[in-house]
Amino acid sequence: MKLPTYQEAKTRNPIAYQKEQYKLPRSLASKYAGRTYYLKTYGCQMNEHDSENIKAILEEMGFQEANDYKTADLILLNTCSIRENAHNKAFGMLGRIKHLKESKKDILVGLCGCMAQEESVVNKILSDYPWINFVFGTHNIHHLPEVLEESIKKQQLEIEVFSREGNLIEGMPAHRASNYKAYVNIIYGCDKFCTYCIVPYTRGKQRSRKKEDILQEVRQLVKDGYQEVTLLGQNVNAYGKDLKDGYGLSQLLEDVAKTHIPRIRFVTSHPWDFTDEMIDVIAKYPNIMPSIHLPVQSGSNRILRLMGRRYTKEEYLNLFHKLKQKVPNCTISTDIIVGFPGETKEEFQETIQLAKQCQFDNAFTFIFSKRKGTPAEKLDDPISLKEKQERLQQLNEVVNHYFLKSNQSLIGKIVPVLVEGKSPKKKNQLFGYTDTNKLINFVGDERLIGKIVDVEVTDAKTWSLDGTYHE
């Protein structure tokens, strides 16, 4: 049993990280052949990619994926802590699973991901959910086989959550969700400690993968026919800072571009670490997609300072305009939080002004959610939830208007689209994403799936485009 502690999660270890090779103990290979698993993922792309690793590990152990949690022998929730509603979703699911477990006593139930890293969550599991079989943290994914074995052997709740990140684990297998698009981790953790955010506690210290390991993974994906990689990190622009060898994101992007993978994306960019050199590389290589996620969070300098974001509105705008100027057709999306503790009506209006000025191509908007253990938890928060909801709605009306405007500007143009599959909603239609990361639906032959093709944009909605494919 190893429980999480925030005290440890907060500290930043000065040591350099060593590589460690993942290996499944031979005695566990295919041990559970014939049994099934169901894995439910909440949260960001990092969690989605962790789930790809978890699936592959379970499959090495012999488990096969079930379509429904009700029929699975093992149910695992890969959870997210970012806002209260992510918590509520996971606890809601645990309620349904408890009900199922009353009639199917033999099923194994596990919880992993960011919630597992939270002291308060693990304490709640110990007191209120002792029927859960195992819990493991974001730094313990490679130990899943051992944790599972321990819990089966002991027939009781097994918890392994390291609060100090360990080595950099290489060589974990991945059951990727797509045959065309792949996630590639480049940097783990986050050292920014924005005052509202729980990620630095749940994901630990910022640590970069070695460039050789990243490039080798990308080259293999190219060989396997992948068309797109998304380089992942909570703050990809800080890539390499911990390695202190002068090799950063701009060099890495350039080397990844030279593998000739047709499309490269990267998330998320923190404005603080975005250099001119990076902008030049993005502009130079046609296989680096002209689409950047650049969270701004607020348009008020006082709120940005309270959030610990380390830039002013003016600095953000400067970077924004530089990107638009230097990277042709570049789309920029963002994240915005409304109702940060003490945000005045005027400060919120500054955010509205900024949204109007930037005319973002896409934006994810949130109401501030108090997270246990973060500095913002202690700030006075006199604004009512109703007021915050009204602000969110007002902001959404503004940003949605510009999504539509941005989409409409493409009508009549031919855009390159990576075709991902049959549209889940529209019969006989395919869907894919443009270079600028816009969803487009169009009529076309299934043989186009997995290819990058030219599509003419015929119509635009707020969230998607319609198009026509010409052979």
The maximal CA–CA distance of the chain, rounded, in angstroms, is: 64
Q: How far apart are CA 455 and CA 372, in angstroms?
A: 47
200 in contact with ligand SF4 (CB under 6 A): yes
Residue 337 near ligand F3S by CB under 6 A: no
Shortest distance, position 201 Cβ to ligand SF4, whole Å: 9
Q: Say if CB 394 and CB 352 are below 8 A apart.
A: yes
Q: How many helices (H) and strands (E) does the chain have?
A: 13, 21
Q: How far apart are CA 131 and CA 152, in angstroms?
A: 13
Helix (H, G, I), strand (E, B) or coil at 469: strand
* Angle at 230 (CA atoms; ends 225, 234), nearest 5 degrees: 155
Partners of 455 in the β-ladder: 415, 469
Which lies closer to ligand F3S via its Cβ, residue 50 or residue 158? 50
Which residue from 369, 394, 396, 437 is in contact with ligand SAH, where contact means CB under 6 A? 369
Nearer to ligand F3S, 151 or 268 (CB): 268
Helix (H, G, I), strand (E, B) or coil at 52: helix
Q: Is residue 4 close enough to count as binding ligand SF4 by CB under 6 A?
A: no
Taking alpha carbons only, the member of 340, 356, 211, 230 closest to residue 293 is 230
Q: Is 202 in the site for ligand F3S (CB under 6 A)?
A: yes
69 burial class (0-12, 13-18, 19+ CB within 10 angstroms)?
Answer: buried
Binding-site string for ligand SF4 from residue 257 to residue 296, where x marks contact by CB under 6 A and - marks none: -------------x--------------------------
Q: How far is the CB of 234 from ligand SAH (least distance, A)?
A: 4
Helix axes 45-60, 144-154, angle to 10 degrees: 60
Give the shortest CB-315-to-ligand F3S separation in angstroms: 25
Token code pair at residue 96: 């349904």
Of the candidate spans 130-138, 189-197, 213-221, 457-465, the one that interacts with ligand SF4 by CB under 6 A turns out to be 189-197
| Residue with nearest beta carbon to ligand SAH | 335
Cα(197)–Cα(295) distance, rounded to whole angstroms? Answer: 13
Long-range pairs for 126-131: beta carbons < 8 A, 24 or more residues apart: 126/157, 126/159, 129/94, 129/98, 130/157, 131/98, 131/101
* Interacting positions 224-253 with ligand SF4 (CB under 6 A): 234-235
Environment class of 280 (CB within 10 Å of its CB; exposed 0-12, middle 13-18, buried 19+): middle
Can you tell me which of 204, 240, 295, 444 binds ligand SAH, judged by CB under 6 A? 295
| Residues from 75 through 134 that contact ligand F3S (CB under 6 A) | 80-82, 113-114
Nearest approach, Cβ of 269 to ligand SF4 (angstroms)?
Answer: 10
Among 91, 131, 193, 285, binds ligand SF4 (CB under 6 A): 193
Beta carbons of 229 and 265 less than 8 angstroms apart: yes
Does residue 43 sit in helix, strand or coil? Answer: coil
Q: Total residues contacting ligand F3S (rule CB under 6 A)? A: 13
Contact 434, 330 (CB under 8 A): no
Q: Which is nearer to ligand F3S, 48 or 387 (CB)?
A: 48
Residue 250 sits in the site that holds ligand F3S (CB under 6 A): no
Stretch that binds ligand SAH, among 96-104, 324-332, 366-374, 377-385 (CB under 6 A): 366-374
* Residue 9, H or E segment: helix 6-10
Q: Which residue is nearest to ligand F3S (CB)?
A: 43
Residue selected from 24, 46, 267, 417 as contacting ligand F3S according to rule CB under 6 A: 46
DSSP E strand stretches across 186-283: 187-188, 207-208, 228-232, 263-267
Q: Which of 61, 199, 252, 306 binds ligand F3S (CB under 6 A)?
A: 199
* Calpha distance 291→336 (Å, rounded): 18
The binder of ligand SAH chosen from 143, 205, 207, 270 (CB under 6 A):
270
Tell whether residue 190 is a contact of ligand SF4 (CB under 6 A): yes
Segment interacting with ligand SAH, rule: CB under 6 A, options 64-72, 104-112, 251-259, 365-373: 365-373
Task: Please report, as ranges, the residues that interact with ligand SAH according to CB under 6 A.
Answer: 82-83, 196-197, 199, 234-235, 268, 270, 295, 297, 335, 337, 366, 368-369, 371
Task: Please report, as ranges, the residues that interact with ligand F3S according to CB under 6 A.
Answer: 43-44, 46-47, 80-82, 113-114, 198-199, 202-203
Task: Please report, as ranges, the residues that interact with ligand SF4 according to CB under 6 A.
Answer: 190, 192-194, 197, 199-200, 234-235, 270
